[in-house]
Chains A and B, each alone.
Chain A
């Protein structure tokens, strides 16, 4: 009946591309790249079309484009159940957008391109699956699928301590996944279903679970906290970013981290509203530590890529703050911050890649300088991304952070949240400090002779980075294009919270 395949097509188009690339023996290197670009572009086009068809008016069902099929023994009560609402659809579009961009920024890959692009496309399927699954088992499956391509991409095409970083990423994430699976199974044992919608409609507090509900909440939350990441579970992130190839950094910062934030809203808050309210204070404190501590550590980094990686820790703190302020405005802000951070930090990592590739593989801030002379376009786009990252009005970063702050300040999740919000706002000052100082050290000052032969971004890179700029400005100037849709996803969450 309600089976219209558009989501499955979006999710599995990249896999199909990966199969074509892996098995298409006759493809040249260029053919491989074009195939990858074609499949990711198709997925992006389809997700855009779903976005325009999505009905976010009042009274519309929250989950649309729903697909339900049995694929496991019926008595397991787990189905192939896909659907998107206003929370997940923007993230699906973001993922397919980052998907095509990551193919473009990988245009210079010459080492084993067949495997590289196959893994890259498989990775996209994993992420898309997480955002569209409405069944916990399916969700978990996609959550795990993403690990293998990440391990291969970092450990083969990375730089520096790539094996260490890849292993750390996988083991750390699996540690969280193991707890999440145990939590989900405990929940299933009591509730008898893996279906997220049915679980959300139940009152889980009345169930007779083997361990307290709060323990299940934190077991599942652990996986999301590692992914987002939340202080003190963040140290895999700078290592993974610093040693990953550019495209993987773009995907990692652009969408992978959002799986954590998405999981928190979709599962932690929606299924466990009571526990979430009870423990909001703890998570908000961790959020503020993440914002301030992350920013403080960012400012002393000397590796350009490591610096941007640490800035993600700080920015994801705002997402956590917005989610656990448990307020309509703050949750909308958190969802928008995920999209905004995806494009802003995606662009920042793409720009680091451009600087690194054109600069004899140098990204040490103590050695860079005056690059605006040799790469004027890169300097301007990098500056713009930096300004969006510090939340300049007119860019997406401003709208998202503003909503988070307004929502958190007016929240009544617990007493004294206003104080934490004010502390969080102070993080913006440090953000301005490290962003402007970074731009100054890399691009301004006297031009250096050793960089005299450096070239500006090439045509393919230009397409990629200007696509990001358009997205940042579009959301910054007309945020309703996203927030209207997000509202459709946040309203049910507010109902679960009983407000």
Chain B
């Protein structure tokens, strides 16, 4: 973002058609949390929760564990850092980016998850690998077997055809062998 900031045309405020719904949603987002301060909303929905005071509802959560504090501090320092960098410009975003270059690059590429998904998993493993392999198997393996049977039948017929030479002597020989085979069969099985 920061690296391109200088190239952007003058940034201006969004038009009212976008601002108004956002403001309405922001107000609702803030006040909707208050509905359940005393556990009243949970009871309204049929939850068997116990009632507690407004103070308890507001600050009770901070007494249970340090996690809310940690997240608040992280969020707060993030807001402060952004303010210092982009609004007051007292810290140079470019120099931070240079100092923490490995982190900066990793974060700006979102841990390369999109690349991993698009190029490696979908493009590589699935499309170019597995799916293409299936397609190859389908045309060479499955369909190859079908065509193989057809070619085999045609080939066998082509080979068998050669026995029809038109030579009467050969046919006579075949008839003689056939008769002998029948006689042998009768003697063996009868």
Q: Which residues of A contact B (CB under 8 A)?
A: 168, 171-172, 231-232, 234-236, 293, 296-297, 299-301
Contact = CB atoms under 8 A, between A and B. Distances in A.
Contact of B135 (A171, A234, A236, A300): A300
Q: What are the 5 A-B residue pairs with the smallest beta carbon separation, nearest first?
A: A235-B143, A296-B131, A296-B134, A300-B131, A300-B135
B146 A297 contact: no
B127 A297 contact: no
B131 A299 contact: yes
Chain B contact-residue range equals 10 to 19
B4 to A, nearest CB: 24
A301 B145 CA distance: 21
B138 to A, nearest CB: 5
A441 to B, nearest CB: 13
Given A172-B146, A297-B135, 12 more contacts: A171-B150, A232-B142, A235-B138, A236-B146, A296-B131, A297-B134, A297-B138, A299-B127, A299-B131, A300-B131, A300-B134, A301-B135
Contacts of A234: 142
Instruction: Please report whether the interface of chain A is mostly helix, strand, loop or mixed according to DSSP.
Output: helix
A292 to B, nearest CB: 9
A50 B143 CA distance: 42
Contacts, number: 33
Contacts of B131: 296-297, 299-300
16 contacts: A168-B146, A168-B150, A171-B150, A172-B146, A232-B142, A236-B146, A293-B134, A293-B138, A296-B126, A296-B130, A296-B131, A297-B134, A297-B135, A300-B127, A300-B132, A300-B135
Contacts of B138: 235, 293, 297
A259 B12 CA distance: 64
Interface of B: 126-127, 130-132, 134-135, 138-139, 142-143, 145-146, 150
Nearest to A239: B143
A264 to B, nearest CB: 21
Contacts of B127: 299-300
B107 to A, nearest CB: 29
Contact of B146 (A235, A293, A299, A301): A235
B124 to A, nearest CB: 13
A236 B130 CA distance: 22
Contacts of A236: 146
Nearest to B138: A297
A236 B146 CA distance: 9
Contact of A235 (B130, B132, B134, B142): B142
A232 B145 CA distance: 10
Contacts of B126: 296
Contacts of B135: 296-297, 300-301
A172 to B, nearest CB: 7
A300 B126 CA distance: 10
A232 B135 CA distance: 13
Contacts of B146: 168, 172, 235-236
A231 B138 CA distance: 10
Contacts of A231: 142
A296 B142 CA distance: 15
Nearest to B150: A171
A296 B146 CA distance: 21
A172 B134 CA distance: 22
User: Most A CB atoms within 10 A — which of B126, B131, B150?
Assistant: B131
